[in-house]
């Protein structure tokens, strides 16, 4: 009926015909308008005898024995050997003007046809459909950790470039340009020692540096005008880092000299004696640009500014004011669940309440990784609330990290909200790992305030705290790294020696929280943090590593070697 009406007018999409069987009665609902009712009925009337027979309980096998060919013939829908023909042959086939244009233009099989039985049809991910219609098995394919990481790499937006002042805020950023020195270091010929500037030369005409010399000038490490030219036979007292007077070639250390005479008031040196003839030209002098030459490339695109300070210092030393860097993403953290309450809410818990463990943990983990983290609070499990929270968050942050609401419960709304309300794409919704199976990664199209089309990244991590933190390190971090131009992405992987037997999961890749330390042999050893249940955030207490347990064997023994990801600072021997 719908198809027939659509052939008349596109507005047929507005109609809601329903058909069903109650007891042995076939019930059809027709539109209210007489014209529409007639058109709709005409489109099915030839099938009604058959439908009624079936509704009356006739044996289906007998009824269908001749196949659809016979059914169509019996219903007068098809003549033997005839070309497909309209059931209403008194009209021209191409006449689509109104009432009888029943969409037969593609031949006699134009009736809508279902290709699946109800058993084969997917359940609904529409939260409004209620628990009876929800998926009973996750419809998302189970990806390996490697495949999940490839999806993240593929769908994380490319880094954006921004300019940033050279100050402490630069730490953790990666350069998006080569930086050339705009000045030389040192910018002037500077003394390396405290002593006396002198003219030294192998030339016959130049007297030996050994002997008594008048102290004619003083050069301190301070800004000032250029001094007078030093002449042969004179010295100038000079301090470390001070500019050499013009004409001086070398500096003799104060240790190689003695005072010969002083001024009358006894406050100044008059003459000194240099005790050595071995002072070379250039000795104890840092030439202009000998550390950094103006115009040299001092840092390359892709290199990072670390917290240690070497790179910041290098940029600072040549007076770099501003650099182009990759913009670090701002990350929002949202907890979900009607049972979740702020961790610091005073008073006892009511039955069912759970203190928010994930939000504080993830906020600090993100900051610890060098990114700005924004607290998005706790969202209720009511569909509208979550959608609004996510929409608001997209205006404030580049990446949204949620926890909870990705399991199979009817109130697990993240996936449907991302797909249905936000029009996002879920790149994966299940990973073969332990903990963290329901981890979900999605991108959502978003129009910024300036009207630009962007793509926001959403990681929906599992609700159990240990799962949320493992999957943060494993999946969120590489994405944040890619967006900020950091390469290679993710945590570094090393081989470690086990301090005890560890059971492995033979089906899913398991990430076991451990304490890594440098052992007596100078190798890294791993000690389990104990119970690894995904709800136990205590498994992260003191943990600085994640063992990547193999699925190929049920057990690793004490002394065995295993891969581990380094999350935090490594301690020396326990």
Binding site for Mg ion (CB under 5 A): 337, 404-405
* 416 touches, from Mg ion, ligand AMP, none (C-beta below 5 to 8 Å by class): none
Scanning 198-206, 237-245, 293-301, 456-464 for contacts with ligand AMP by CB under 6 A, the matching segment is 456-464
Q: Does 354 bind ligand AMP (CB under 6 A)?
A: yes
Region 309-348 residues binding ligand AMP, contact defined as CB under 6 A: 335, 337, 339-340
Q: Which is nearer to ligand AMP, 284 or 403 (CB)?
A: 403
Q: Does 404 bind ligand AMP (CB under 6 A)?
A: yes
Q: Which is nearer to Mg ion, 176 or 354 (CB)?
A: 354
The angle subtended at Cα 60 by Cα 57 and Cα 61, nearest 5°, is: 145
Three-class DSSP category at 496 = strand
Q: Does 183 bind ligand AMP (CB under 6 A)?
A: no
Q: Which is nearer to ligand AMP, 438 or 490 (CB)?
A: 438
* 356 touches, from ligand AMP, Mg ion, none (C-beta below 5 to 8 Å by class): ligand AMP
Q: Does 435 bind ligand AMP (CB under 6 A)?
A: no
The answer to whether 86 and 93 are in contact (CB under 8 A) is yes
d(CA 221, CA 119): 88
Three-class DSSP category at 120 = helix
Minimal distance, residue 512 CB to ligand AMP, in Å: 20
Supply the DSSP string of 395-461, one letter for each residue: HH-SEEEEES--SSSTT--HHHIIIIIS--EEEES-BSEES-TT-EEEEEEEE-TTS-EEEEEEEEE
Q: Which is nearer to Mg ion, 438 or 490 (CB)?
A: 438
Q: Which is nearer to ligand AMP, 376 or 422 (CB)?
A: 376
Minimal distance, residue 481 CB to ligand AMP, in Å: 24
Q: Which is nearer to ligand AMP, 215 or 406 (CB)?
A: 406
d(CA 142, CA 128): 26
Minimal distance, residue 401 CB to ligand AMP, in Å: 11
The angle subtended at Cα 457 by Cα 454 and Cα 463, nearest 5°, is: 155
| Residue from 329, 424, 436, 463 in contact with ligand AMP (CB under 6 A) | 463
d(CA 43, CA 111): 9
Burial label, 172 (beta-carbon count in 10 A; 0-12, 13-18, 19+): middle
Scanning 200-208, 458-466, 541-549, 553-561 for contacts with ligand AMP by CB under 6 A, the matching segment is 458-466
The DSSP 8-state label assigned to residue 93 in this structure reads T
Q: Which is nearer to Mg ion, 127 or 337 (CB)?
A: 337
What is the separation of C-alpha 391 from the centre of its chain, rounded to a whole number of angstroms? 19
The angle subtended at Cα 199 by Cα 290 and Cα 256, nearest 5°, is: 90
For the chain, how long is the longest CA-to-CA vector?
Answer: 137
* 357 touches, from Mg ion, ligand AMP, none (C-beta below 5 to 8 Å by class): ligand AMP
Q: Which is nearer to ligand AMP, 283 or 412 (CB)?
A: 412
Minimal distance, residue 132 CB to ligand AMP, in Å: 19
The DSSP 8-state label assigned to residue 533 in this structure reads -
| Residue from 9, 239, 317, 407 in contact with ligand AMP (CB under 6 A) | 407
| Helix or strand run (H / E) with residue 470 | helix 465-471
What character string, x for contact with ligand AMP (CB under 6 A) and - otherwise, covers 412-431? x-------------------
Q: Does 409 bind ligand AMP (CB under 6 A)?
A: yes
d(CA 255, CA 208): 18
Minimal distance, residue 486 CB to Mg ion, in Å: 32
Minimal distance, residue 352 CB to ligand AMP, in Å: 9
* 354 touches, from ligand AMP, Mg ion, none (C-beta below 5 to 8 Å by class): ligand AMP
The answer to whether 424 and 418 are in contact (CB under 8 A) is yes
Minimal distance, residue 145 CB to Mg ion, in Å: 24
The angle subtended at Cα 115 by Cα 111 and Cα 116, nearest 5°, is: 135
Cβ neighbours of 89 (radius 10 Å): 11
Total chain residues near ligand AMP (CB under 6 A): 20
Minimal distance, residue 153 CB to Mg ion, in Å: 29
Residues 6+ apart with CB under 8 A from 344: none
Minimal distance, residue 534 CB to ligand AMP, in Å: 8
Minimal distance, residue 443 CB to ligand AMP, in Å: 21
Minimal distance, residue 480 CB to ligand AMP, in Å: 20
Q: Does 357 bind ligand AMP (CB under 6 A)?
A: yes
The DSSP 8-state label assigned to residue 140 in this structure reads S
Minimal CB distance to ligand AMP: which residue?
Answer: 463
Q: Does 485 bind ligand AMP (CB under 6 A)?
A: no
Q: In what order do the strands lie in the sheet with 211-219?
A: 250-253, 195-198, 235-238, 211-219, 269-274, 257-262
Q: Does 464 bind ligand AMP (CB under 6 A)?
A: yes
| Residue from 465, 478, 485, 490 in contact with ligand AMP (CB under 6 A) | 465
What is the separation of C-alpha 452 from the centre of its chain, rounded to a whole number of angstroms? 20
Minimal CB distance to Mg ion: which residue?
Answer: 337
Partnered with residue 251 across adjacent β-strands are 197
Minimal distance, residue 362 CB to ligand AMP, in Å: 9
Residues 6+ apart with CB under 8 A from 486: 174, 304
- Residues at the site binding ligand AMP, with contacts judged by CB under 6 A: 335, 337, 339-340, 354, 356-359, 403-407, 409, 412, 462-465
């Amino acid at each position: 009926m719908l198809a027939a009406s659509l052939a008349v007018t596109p507005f047929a999409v507005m109609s809601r015909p329903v058909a069903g069987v109650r007891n042995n009665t076939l019930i059809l609902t027709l539109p209210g308008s007489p014209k529409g009712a007639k058109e709709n009925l005409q489109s099915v009337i030839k099938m009604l005898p058959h439908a009624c027979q079936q509704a009356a309980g006739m044996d289906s096998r007998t009824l269908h024995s001749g196949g659809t060919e016979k059914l169509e013939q019996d219903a007068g829908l098809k003549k033997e050997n005839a070309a497909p023909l309209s059931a209403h042959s008194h009209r021209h086939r191409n006449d689509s003007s109104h009432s009888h244009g029943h969409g037969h233009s593609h031949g006699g099989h134009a009736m809508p046809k279902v290709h699946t039985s109800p058993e084969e049809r997917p359940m609904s991910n529409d939260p409004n459909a209620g628990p009876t219609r929800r998926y009973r098995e996750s419809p998302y394919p189970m990806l390996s950790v490697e495949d999940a990481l490839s999806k993240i790499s593929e769908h994380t937006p490319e880094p954006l470039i921004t300019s940033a002042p050279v100050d402490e805020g630069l730490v953790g950023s990666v350069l998006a340009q080569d930086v050339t020195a705009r000045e030389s270091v040192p910018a002037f010929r500077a003394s390396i020692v405290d002593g006396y500037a002198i003219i030294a030369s192998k030339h016959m005409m130049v007297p030996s540096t050994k002997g008594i010399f008048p102290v004619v000038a003083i050069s301190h490490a301070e800004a000032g005008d250029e001094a007078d030219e030093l002449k042969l036979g004179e010295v100038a007292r000079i301090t470390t880092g001070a500019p050499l007077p013009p004409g001086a070639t070398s500096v003799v250390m104060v240790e190689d000299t003695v005072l010969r005479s002083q001024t009358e008031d006894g406050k100044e040196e008059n003459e000194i004696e240099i005790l050595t003839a071995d002072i070379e030209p250039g000795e104890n002098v840092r030439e202009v640009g000998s550390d950094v030459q103006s115009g040299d490339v001092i840092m390359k695109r892709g290199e990072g500014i670390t917290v240690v300070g070497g790179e910041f210092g290098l940029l600072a030393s040549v007076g770099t004011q501003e650099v182009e860097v990759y913009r670090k993403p701002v990350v929002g953290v949202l907890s979900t669940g009607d049972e979740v309450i702020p961790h610091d809410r005073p008073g006892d818990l009511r039955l069912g309440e759970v203190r928010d463990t994930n939000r504080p943990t993830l906020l600090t983990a993100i900051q610890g990784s060098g990114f700005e983290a924004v607290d998005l609070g706790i969202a209720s499990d009511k569909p509208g609330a979550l959608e609004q929270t996510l929409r608001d968050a997209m205006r404030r942050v580049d990446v949204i990290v949620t926890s909870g609401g990705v399991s199979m419960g009817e109130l697990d709304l993240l996936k449907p909200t991302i797909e249905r309300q936000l029009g996002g794409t879920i790149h994966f919704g299940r990973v073969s790992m332990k903990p963290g199976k329901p981890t979900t990664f999605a991108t959502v199209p978003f129009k910024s305030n300036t009207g630009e089309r962007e793509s926001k990244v959403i990681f929906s991590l599992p609700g159990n705290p240990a799962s949320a933190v493992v999957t943060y390190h494993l999946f969120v971090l590489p994405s944040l790294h890619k967006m900020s131009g950091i390469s290679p992405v993710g945590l570094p992987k090393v081989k470690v020696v086990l301090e005890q037997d560890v059971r492995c999961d033979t089906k899913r890749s398991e990430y076991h929280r451990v304490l890594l330390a440098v052992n007596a042999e100078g190798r890294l050893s791993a000690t389990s943090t104990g119970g690894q249940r995904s709800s136990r955030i205590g498994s992260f207490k003191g943990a600085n590593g994640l063992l990547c347990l193999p699925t190929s064997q049920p057990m690793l023994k004490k002394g065995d070697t295993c891969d581990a990801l380094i999350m935090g600072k490594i301690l020396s021997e326990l």
